[in-house]
Amino acid sequence: MFCDEVTIKVIAGKGGDGLVSFRHQKFVPKGGPDGGDGGKGGDIYLEVDDSINTLSLFNRYKTFQAEAGEGGKQECRHGKSGEDLILPIPLGTMIFDAETNELFWDTAELKNGTRLLLARGGKGGYGNAHYKTATQQTPKVAQLGLPGEVKKIKLELKLIADVGLIGFPNVGKSTLISAISNARPKIANYEFTTLLPNLGTVNYKGKSFVVADIPGLIEGASKGKGLGYDFLKHVERTRLLVHLIDAQSGDFEKDFQVIRKELEKFNPTLTQYPYLLVINKIDLVEKENLDQKVKKFKSKGRDKVYLISAASKKGTGDLLDEIILQLSKLKRRCLVKPIREKEYKVFRPAEEIDFSYQVKRKNEYFIVEGKKVAEVVLQTNLDNPFAVEDMYFKLKKLGVLRKLEKIGVKEGDKVKVAGKVFYYQKNLPSYGFHK
């Protein structure tokens, strides 16, 4: 099933928890800490795949979650990292933030196989072996793994084709694309036979190009009438438009202008695209009558008009010759500036460390917001007094405790960070973890 717009939720894998463990071995009374680090959670990538032309994969499932990292092991063994999740998307897909509508990526000019990092997996927590020092040889603290990133995104596909076939329903677009390419669309003698865009590859005289049949254009399409509004966006990525007109029409110029105005209302730039005028179904009209209508049409400034019968393939050779000639002069267009692949095959933006935070009071809570502060608290097992001591030490270094005291925090007050709540302790018992 064809699908060109969908909203999904992605959840990267949680990092594995670090392990608190001590070596227990016969004749080794003081084996020391041997708890390993947790594995990293799996990342989620979008991968450009030019073998598909629909987002139908995302019709069945709306939430995608990567594998979590394993917890740390004894004998200082590192937990296994979670498997990355790769989601294939067609070339020409645009990726937006579903809440702000901010454009993350436009894949129009990316290479097949390019991967885009969508959500990072959480870091694995340190095991207690990581905390061993000369003065602290029996650390009883380990970090929890961090949760993976959660994002809600909108995917919007704009098909990438060299040639777009436009015109009224039942004008013969489907017949033409089946006559000149490998596409085999449904063909019938009634309006809106074509309910979805069709793509086909044309191979002619050693040249090849992709043609798209854009369905449903009628007067009012740009305002949502008929089917055209849903598919007008696919016209934007074409290089050349082939405007088909039914030879049985009583007014070629009127038919041409109706479709032209709909393109202009949807996106004024579309009227600047190069186009070819094609009169189809010439075998259904008497030659004398056809000649008169074509002469009248040309008097409106339409100098070059191609006469064809897609059903019998009459005149299609000359049309294909002209299409190939025009395409040789035109570059593929992309209305939105894409992120281009340069040196690397995988787009993996560097992760920034943000130490900024805000402290405020709301009802009975003292709330601290900030990326680094959230990491510190999320990685702390609040049931482990050694881990809590370590957390307080880190919050003090960041200046959080001083700011909390400045706005009036007292012993036993609730402090909330990243959804976790702990009770503030001014005189925290020391276990000698930090000296």
User: Per residue in 29-60, pLDDT tens?
Assistant: 677 888 999 999 999 999 999 888 788 888 88
Contacts of 101 (CB under 8 A, 6+ apart): 154
Give the pLDDT confidence score for residue 430 in this predicted structure: 66
pLDDT (tens digit, 9 = 90+) per residue, 300-317?
888 899 999 999 999 999
- Which class for 128: exposed (0-12), middle (13-18), buried (19 or more C-beta within 10 A)? buried
pLDDT, residue 343, reads: 37
Share of the chain above pLDDT 90, in %: 45
Q: Rounded CA gap, 302 and 254, in Å?
A: 13
Alpha helix locations (H) across 274-315?
287-298
Structure confidence by residue, pLDDT tens digits, 387-422: 998 899 999 999 999 999 999 999 999 999 999 999
Does residue 432 have a pLDDT over 80? no
Does residue 70 have a pLDDT over 70? yes
- Cβ-defined contacts of 335-342 (< 8 Å, 24+): 335/236, 335/237, 335/267, 335/269, 336/94, 336/103, 336/106, 336/108, 337/106, 338/105, 338/106, 338/107, 338/108, 338/109, 338/110, 339/105, 339/106, 339/110, 340/109, 340/110, 341/110, 341/111, 341/114
To the question of pTM greater than 0.85 for the whole model, the response is no
Rounded mean pLDDT, 268-285: 90
Catalogue all structural domains in the chain, each as residue range(s) with its CATH number: 1-157 (2.70.210.12), 163-327 (3.40.50.300), 358-423 (3.30.300.350)
pLDDT mean across residues, the chain: 84
- pLDDT in the model for residue 71: 94
- What is 248-263 written as a DSSP string? T-S-HHHHHHHHHHHH
Question: Residues 194, 215: contact at Cβ < 8 Å?
Answer: yes
Residue of 173, 309, 216, 190 whose CA lies nearest to 2: 216
Q: What gap in Å lies between CA 37 and CA 143, rounded to an integer? A: 8
pLDDT in tens, 163-189: 888 888 888 888 888 888 875 644 444
Q: pLDDT, tens digit, for every residue of 187-223?
A: 444 444 444 567 778 888 888 888 888 876 655 444 4
Question: How do residues 87-121 score in pLDDT, each as one tens digit?
Answer: 999 888 889 999 888 888 888 878 889 999 999 99
- The whole-number pLDDT of residue 109 equals 78
Residue type, 167: G
pLDDT of residue 128 exceeding 70, the answer is yes
